[in-house]
Amino acid sequence: MMGLKGKAAIVTGGSSGIGEATVREMVNSGAHVLIATSMMNAVNSWHPDFPASRGQTEKKRKK
C-alpha cells in the first residue's frame, strides 16, 4: 500500500484473517491504525511492537 505514511485508518474486524493482514500492511506502510474488534484476546496474541519509524496501532474493544 502506497501513500499511507502519516494517515489514520480504522479497521473493523482487525483481529484475524483479512482484517489482520490489512492492519499489518497499513502499519508497515506508515499508517496509524485503530483496530476495532470484539475479540481483543486474538489481537493481543499477535499484536507486535512495530518500530516507531513505521505506523502505530491502537486497540479498542467494541461493546
Beta strands in the chain (DSSP E): 8-12, 32-37, 56-61
For the entire predicted model, the pTM comes to: 0.69
Residue type, position 1, single letter: M
Q: Find where cell 496509524 sits.
A: 32
What confidence score (pLDDT) does residue 53 get? 42
What confidence score (pLDDT) does residue 13 get? 85
What confidence score (pLDDT) does residue 18 get? 93
**pLDDT (tens digit, 0 to 9) for every residue of the chain, 63 residues total?**
678 888 999 998 888 889 888 988 898 888 888 888 877 777 766 665 554 444 556 666 656
What confidence score (pLDDT) does residue 50 get? 52
What confidence score (pLDDT) does residue 52 get? 46
Q: Please state the separation of Cα 45 from the chain's center in Å.
A: 13
